[in-house]
Structure 1
Amino acid sequence: MMRYTFEYRVISSNSKSEFSQEADSQEEAAALIVTRIADLEFTDESDIKLGKVIAISKKVGDNYVACDGCAS
């Protein structure tokens, strides 16, 4: 299991941020994260523009470590 950190933008306010999602693949993370971001931002899923993956981390024990060579 990996943690994928995505950039995102809230369309209505044009605010930008980042958020991460634990998943088995980048595609699975992307499918799950928009709902979580919309809840966090108190907005509709259609108001979220998901950007690129900016980091991939691998779980080691109870922590996540940067995974520069991880393929999605």
Structure 2
Amino acid sequence: MSIAFLDPRNLEGDLQAGAVAGDTLLWLLLWATAMGLLVQLLATLLGADIQEVIGSAIAIKILSKGYLAL
């Protein structure tokens, strides 16, 4: 956390929070990283589905020679 903002106030606050909370912040960081990766994976899968739907609609329009609207 202190790597993100290296100014004296943030570094001091991060060190004090680490001294008070101990190893609890490490477990929180581990779970937050895992949840962030899960959310990114789900967003990527949804993005891939949207591309397939749009691609299928364009293909149907081309194959029907414009009789079916998008």
Instruction: Please give the TM-score of this superposition, normalised by the length of structure 1.
Output: 0.24
Larger radius of gyration between Structure 1 and Structure 2:
2
Higher helix fraction: Structure 1 or Structure 2?
2
